Amino acid sequence: MEHRPGLYTLLSGLGDPSPLVVEVPRSGRQYPNEFQVACDFTTLHAYVSMYVEEIYGNAPDSGAALLWANFPNSWIDLNRHVEDIDPSLLAEPWPGPIHPSDKSLRLGTGLIHKWGKDDLPIYDRKLSVAEVRQRIDDYYWPYHDRLAQLIQANVDRFGASWHISCHCMASVGPRWSHDKGQPRKDFCVSDLSGKTSDPAFLDAAVKAFEAEGFTVSVNDPFVGGECVRRHSRPAEGRNSLQFEMIKGLYMDEETWRKTDRFDAVKAGVGKVIGRISDYCRKSAGRKDSPKNPQ
């Protein structure tokens, strides 16, 4: 295990290694001491992907690496572009380029979250450029750099890489979503509408979930975020998918308590990752295999 307190934890794959990296960028619950907010904890904590790193905790048993962030996404959101900054959050002009997205301007959940649950403000002050830069330099880049290193190591060893970014979502579309009020499938598998993965990887993932009795949607209600965009180049054998699972599968969405189904869901997801990991092994042209000698 590689553990950087407050930053990330990495578990290496066990047994027969697989060219698969499973990562959980938004489930961290270690709040930095310097995170001073004006809202209550419930407001702040509502967007954390609770327990997702535990649900995928069996991934190393299939030979895949498992990486997760320890800090909360309200501190800095790893699934947003580094330039997705709302200028209204800042006490002074940002010295470089910024490109605030709809997530920043309409929803308040860009790189630095502005609002928490029920659109309540997180801060009662403007943030300085220095403190936002500190979050980028000390949290955002170290996590993304470590993820990039894991993917590159698989490319070097196997000739290709497969990466899954894991999240959770509301069981029913919230008021701001295009599927408002609609029940969602158990899992949403996304590839930025065909941009981040070989179609065969997406198809293998969908079939793996369905084989374990889960229901699946593709690129709806989410198409994927920065983690898959940044770390994928399918034309070069670097494939990334985003997995979203409904919170109601394994926890009470109001109290955040695990339900009686938690262990069964974790076991089922472990089998899904096992099937996907086997797919990745079979699909890889290992550089250290007889077909591709060093």
Nearest to 65 by CA among 144, 164, 198: 164
The answer to whether residue 185 sits within a structural domain is yes
The answer to whether residue 288 sits within a structural domain is no
Domain count, the chain: 1
Collapsing DSSP to helix, strand or coil, 183 comes out as strand
- Kindly report the number of other CB atoms within 10 A of residue 53's CB atom: 25
Region 70-79: mean pLDDT is 98
**Is the Cβ–Cβ distance between 221 and 272 less than 8 Å?**
no
- pLDDT tens digits for range 181-200: 999 999 999 999 999 999 99
The answer to whether residue 292 sits within a structural domain is no
Going by pLDDT thresholds of 50, 70 and 90, the confidence category of residue 118 is: confident
The answer to whether residue 293 sits within a structural domain is no
pTM to 2 decimal places: 0.95
Quickly tell me which residue has 């974790």 as its tokens.
Answer: 266
CATH number at residue 100: 3.40.630.40
The answer to whether residue 291 sits within a structural domain is no
In the chain, DSSP assigns E strands to 2-4, 8-11, 20-24, 65-69, 161-169, 187-190, 216-218, 238-246
- pLDDT tens digits for range 279-292: 999 999 644 433 33
Structural domain range at position 153: 2-283
